Amino acid sequence: MQKEAKKIIEFIIENGASYADIRIFTKDQKESIQVLNGEVEQLSQSLAAGYGIRVLYKGSWGFASHENFDNFLSTAKLALENAQSSSLYRQDEIKLAPKKIFKQNFNTQTEIDPFEVPIKEKIERLLFLEDKLKHSKFDYRGASLNLYKREIFYLDSEGAEINKNLLDVEAGLWANAFDSNSQKQSRSYYLPQDPNTSVGWENILSDTQFNHGDRLKNELLSLLEAPKCPEEVCDLILLPEMMALQTHETIGHALELDRILGYELSYAGGSHVSLQDFGKLTFGSNKLNARADGTVKNSPGSEGFDDDGVIGKNIPLIEKGLLVNAITSRQMITEANAKANKKIFSESGGANRAQSYYSLPIERMNNINIDPGNDGNLEDIIKNTKNGLLVEAPTSWSIGSNRENFHFACEIGWKIIDGKISHVVANPTYRGDSLPFWKSLDLVGNSESWQLQQVFYCGKGQPNQAMRLGHGVPVCRFKNVQVGK
């Protein structure tokens, strides 16, 4: 198949294209199990294979995909024809920035392949974990496991040849109940990853990583009797799940270069950031250091190489509060530099990714992380807070179309008074304008508080693509935030 792919690339170039690449998914395997109230609610498995061919002809893209490998040549011809047709109507010529060429393999670190574990054993483990959430006051309790395995061969006309074997493991626990005011309250927990271990069934067996039912049950029982979050301006402490959402929505999406250039306006929105802001805009306080890190281990955002064949990189986005870079691809940095009439971006950040072989790659977050700070662990930050609110786990979010403001609701909050947790509060919310909010960041937790959160359904593009990625974030405190409104 790889030999045939090379012949296809040669055919495309011989017929006038300036560039071509092929992504072959020899395996795209998925498995989903969900248990609910002690019974199996869902069990599904799928296995697919296919390929996508991308062609650049006279500055315009053409793309085609297929599942039948006997149609390699006809699919290549269709991709070439699509590029030729689009070149008749293009306005700006697409140019690709240079890249290093690799012939390399990349494999997710795994101890126990979950696809090799018997279905019965996986169901029994989920039922065991879900049973810890059982309580007469709860309406629903559940556990879920979603597994993704992909074997991908990438080849392009510049000489890159890359084999990737990728595994992602998504798992969750949750319980719901109605409080005395007939409002639904929920507690949930979704599997994070540890960059120092591995990705596999071993995480589901780990009590540290995933056995959190007793804690969730106790927190949900507390929520059923808890007072409503008060309306006030106070200090806000975000635990990792909420920090991941905050980072995702107001840093990650705001700094995707295609959004900054206006490509997502009709669907996902734009960005309040402009090309003139890089190197000048104070995005947050000097405590804020953010990066697009495609090298952090064990994250669904780390695939070794993006779908341009660019190796994963660790790119600083914000340094001591100053905006210095964006989430970029080979195409967009050349366009941005041309539009700005200066060199803003020196190389692709390796963030051009597609959902599957049938999707055209677009700029997507890989791992948008916040560096740990020097302000201690969670306990230390609480001790240093006189009047505050500690929150975790998003329930809803509303974000300005240009990521300029936001309003988030959380599952649970804890009121902090004079450096101690006073009590649980229900239905906590907070809001703010993005730049003032990040400028109010005054305490950043140390590496002990840092956690790699997984995101499995980030939507973007037309047709929509749901991408998997990660956010490594510490516990953080923000000053004088409006909560409970």
163 and 113, same domain (yes or no): yes
Fill in the amino acid letter for 422.
Answer: S
What is the pLDDT, as a whole number, of residue 1?
Answer: 84
14 and 65, same domain (yes or no): yes
Q: What is the DSSP string of 179-238?
A: -TTS-EEEEEEE--B-TTS--SHHHHH-HHHH--HHHHHHHHHHHHHPPBPPPEEEEEEE
**For residue 115, which of 172, 200, 173 has the smallest C-alpha distance?**
200
Structure tokens at 439: 């400028």
Cβ-proximal residues to 42 (8 Å cutoff; 6+ apart), any chain = 32, 33, 34
Count the Cβ atoms, other than its own, within 10 Å of residue 480.
12
What is the pLDDT, as a whole number, of residue 267?
Answer: 87
271 touches 260 (CB < 8 A): yes
C-alpha separations of 282 from 251, 273, 310, 434 in Å: 13, 11, 29, 12
109 and 166, same domain (yes or no): yes
The residue from 165, 192, 225 where one domain ends is: 225
346 and 426, same domain (yes or no): yes
41 and 163, same domain (yes or no): yes
Structure tokens at 377: 């662990």
186 and 298, same domain (yes or no): no
According to DSSP H, which parts of 237-306 are helical? 240-247, 257-260
330 and 467, same domain (yes or no): yes
What residues make up the domain containing 385? 232-483
204 and 253, same domain (yes or no): no
Backbone angles phi, psi at 113, to 5 degrees: -70, 115
**For residue 430, which of 236, 207, 292 has the smallest C-alpha distance?**
236
Count the Cβ atoms, other than its own, within 10 Å of residue 14.
8
What CATH code is carried by the domain that includes residue 22? 3.30.2290.10
**For residue 160, which of 9, 329, 348 has the smallest C-alpha distance?**
9
What is the pLDDT, as a whole number, of residue 345?
Answer: 98
The residue from 192, 225, 258 where one domain ends is: 225
43 and 117, same domain (yes or no): yes
Number of domains in the chain: 2
What is the pLDDT, as a whole number, of residue 109?
Answer: 96
3-state DSSP call for residue 72?
Answer: helix
Classify residue 202 by burial, with Cβ atoms within 10 Å: 0-12, 13-18, 19+. Answer: middle
| pTM to 2 decimal places | 0.97
Write out residues in the chain with pLDDT < 50, as ranges.
none
